[in-house]
Amino acid sequence: MGYVYWVSVFFFLFRRTRADFWNSESLHTLRGHTSTVRCLKMSDSSTAISGSRDTTLRVWDIKTGLCKNVLVGHQASVRCLEIKGDIVVSGSYDTTARVWSISEGRCLRTLSGHFSQIYAIAFDGTRIATGSLDTSVRIWDPNNG
Amino acid sequence: MGYVYWVSVFFFLFRRTRADFWNSESLHTLRGHTSTVRCLKMSDSSTAISGSRDTTLRVWDIKTGLCKNVLVGHQASVRCLEIKGDIVVSGSYDTTARVWSISEGRCLRTLSGHFSQIYAIAFDGTRIATGSLDTSVRIWDPNNG
């Protein structure tokens, strides 16, 4: 019994070591969200932005692994996001989309109109398109939506 | 009765003709996956890559409609993918991300560390970011993570 135990320990350790050897490990683990990360994009070589079921977006410095900002405002899961320059747009299960300034870390505009969850968003810097469970696609002007 | 029959035939034919006229038909139907296609990107003007609940990715020649490669390795649904040059990165419900060479059709690296399903992936050619049900975002070096 003691023999089986030590052989098991050996194989467990060996398996872990072998896995570490062949597989890559992450450079950073970015912690802060309190629920599933549902969407993720890079905005430049040092910045990633994530959206979560915890209702927030987080702006991360991927070189240092630090959270630079938490974008608070949505009332339900953040399902999709797109970035163009300093602007990130997010679609949420709270039926709204939001336009955020990355550098200022604040919500510039809330786009209300859908009757149900937003599942998809597109943004080319000029127009925002959102697709929803309410079956419609809506087009918005980010400056005057 | 004969009158109604021929009128029905006429409208049936007319409807089909009008549908053919107004609707577009697909150029190709790419068959091979054995379960839901969950993610899909184009890598260049002639190549698309799909990820499926059948655990594989498929590389398609969209001009001929032929499958050029099947990327096998994930143990569960392929949920998200991103492409940059010859590299495709995929995130899976098996908790790992994988780095694949499109031209070689093989897995270069497996990124292990998440404790639960990966839902989102971003890749800029230098860094990979993955977001998971385990609430964390991880940053990886595709070459030497």
Q: Which helix (H) or strand (E) holds A10?
A: helix A2-22
Q: Are A44 and A68 in contact (CB under 8 A)?
A: no
Q: What percent of chain B has pLDDT over 90?
A: 79
Instruction: Find, among A86, A79, A138, the residue nearest to A108 by Cα.
Output: A86
Provide the pLDDT confidence category of residue A113 given band limits of 50, 70 and 90: very high
Determine the pLDDT at residue B30: 95
pLDDT in tens, A26-56: 999 999 999 999 999 999 999 999 999 999 9
Q: Which residues of B touch A60 (CB under 8 A)?
A: 137
Q: Residue A42 is nearest to which of B124, B136, B138, comparing CB atoms? A: B124
Identify the closest residue of chain A to B144 by CA–CA distance: A24
Dihedral pair phi/psi, residue A25, rounded to 5°: -110, 155
H or E element in which residue A48 lies: strand A47-52
Q: What percent of chain A has pLDDT over 70?
A: 86
**Closest chain A CA to residue B79:** A38
Q: A9 pLDDT band (50/70/90 cuts)?
A: low
Contacts of B18 (CB under 8 A, 6+ apart): none
Largest CA distance in chain B: 77
Hey, what amino acid is at A95? T
Q: Which helix (H) or strand (E) holds B16?
A: helix B2-22
In which band, very low, low, confident or very high, does the pLDDT at A13 lie, cut at 50, 70 and 90?
low
pLDDT of A1 > 70? The answer is no
Write the DSSP symbol of residue B17.
H
What is the least distance, in Å, from the CA of A50 to any CA of chain B?
8
B41 vs A: CB within 8 A:
no
- Using CA atoms, how far apart are residues B41 and B44, in angstroms rounded to an integer? 9
Task: Identify residue B2 by its one-letter amino acid code.
Answer: G
Query: What does the block give as tokens for A84?
Result: 């163009």
Who among A29, A30, A45 is closest to B124 (CB)?
A: A45
Cβ-based neighbours of A82, under 8 Å, separated by 6 or more: A41, A88, A89, A121, A122, A123
Considering only A61-75, A77-91, B4-18, B117-131, which range has the smallest mean pLDDT?
B4-18
A29 half-sphere exposure, CB direction, 13 A CA radius: 11
Q: Is the pLDDT score of A141 beyond 90?
A: yes
Chunked into runs of 10 residues, chain B (145 residues) has average pLDDT values of: 69 56 80 97 95 98 96 98 97 98 96 97 96 97 75
CB A127 within 8 A of CB A143: no
For B97-117, the pLDDT digits (tens) are 999 999 999 999 999 999 999
Q: Please state the φ and ψ torsions of residue B27, each to the nearest 5 degrees.
A: -75, -40
C-beta separation of B101 from B109 below 8 A: no
Residue B13, amino acid: L
Two tokens at B36?
């839901």
CB contact under 8 A, A26 and B120: no
Q: Compute the mean pLDDT over every residue in chain A, rounded to the nearest whole number.
A: 90
pTM given for the model: 0.82
Question: Which is more confidently placed, A85 or A20?
Answer: A85
B94's tokens: 């098996």
Q: Is A62 in Cβ contact with B129 (below 8 Å)? A: yes
Is pLDDT above 80 for A128?
Answer: yes
By the CB < 8 Å criterion, does A124 face chain B? Answer: no
Q: Least CB-CB distance to A24: which of B111, B124, B129?
A: B111
Are A39 and A81 in contact by the 8 Å Cβ rule? The answer is: yes
